Structure 1
Amino acid sequence: MNEDLISKKELLDMTGISYGQLYRWKRKNLIPEQWFIRKSSFTGQETFFPREKILQRIDRILNMKDDLSLDALADVFSPSPGEVSLSVGEILERNIVTTISLNLYIESAGAPAQPEFSFEKMLIIYVLDKMLRSGDISLEEGRLLVRTLEAHFPERTGRECGVMLTRKMGVVAFMLVPGNGEIYMDSEVRTVVKLSMAQCTEELKLWMGGSEG
């Protein structure tokens, strides 16, 4: 499958940013190097970007750059987990997730009674909480989600995978899609929800940063 691309000229025209801003954000690691795709065109070599990813990223940068420094934004957009770890009490005090989601994770993952959670574990709980809050999944389906993420994320999928919930004839399935790519299923399979783990990582970092102190 060929990814939908946007040229650099079209990107600058559409977003209103300058050439200098674009490459400054690249140097600051706000935009990944691999998103700058060099391709041949009738004018010679031209730079293209994955359309959906770059437009979403620039929109987020423009909306947040007045509140956060470029270095802080680079940390938010980094797929790497944070080095922070929090206890149950700290997680609940900061209102990062609900008690229901936290307890469901502890039960499903077999976590110790008084655990310290790494950022990676908090990310799994955050994804669980998002799906429970939206009403997309039941508690039993939440247990299946936790077991799926615990078994495969990120060692087998990479940190930028997508997590999908599908249903067919009443049967539910969770799928982790490496690279947040597209998959194709028969017409009777309904995609209930699809989340980007990279985007959830950004949201959790912002939430934690905004809830400190």
Structure 2
Amino acid sequence: MEWSWHPVQLSLYVATIATCITFVLAIIAAYWIAGGRVKGRAILETIFFLPLVLPPTVIGFMLIIIFGNNSPVGRAIEAMAGSSILFTVPAAIIAAAIVAFPLMYQSIKTGFLSVDSNIIGAAKVDGASNWKLLFLIIVPLSYRSILAGIILGFTRSIGEFGATLMFAGNIPGRTQTIPTAIYLAIESGRTDVAWYYVLISISFSFILLLFINRARG
């Protein structure tokens, strides 16, 4: 196994797309849950946080069951796209988005709940719709928490390994990300190559987490 930039480039691409998808879902879910009028909130949030506690292999297995060739979803995707989603870049994006969602959701929800209820009440009195309330008042006042959630989600997406390995595979030049490249390098006895990817991963994580801490300070 030789050193290649492809796993780094693919990891950044996967993390970026996964973060964008997760951001939209987390904003909607956090606004919905933070509103406080959701039936079964405890059950929903338990489902949201499952990716944090489940073994990555379980997540990977469930993704294979849901999107596999024998499932209705998998057959529908194959009929539309002409090929299975298994062992592709979109599979890596889905896996990264799922594991990143709980971190981003929790951070954004915390920000939403910290907004002064008097401000929200005044905006409603003035006739603000739910969408205007969200994008013109709540989001701007929660920007620090939202930014932290985005960075945490992005960092988690870059580091995703187990579910990605099962669902997207570890195909050099196609679906190999930084974590799976490290795994293959160690398996191949190329510790020097593994060190390159490890240092890149640590550098990304350190810089992004430092940015969060400075923004909060």
TM-score relative to the length of structure 2? 0.23
Q: Report which of the two has the higher share of helix.
A: 2
Q: Report which of the two has the higher share of strand.
A: 1
TM-score relative to the length of structure 1? 0.23
Higher relative contact order (CA closer than 8 Å, sequence separation 6+): 2
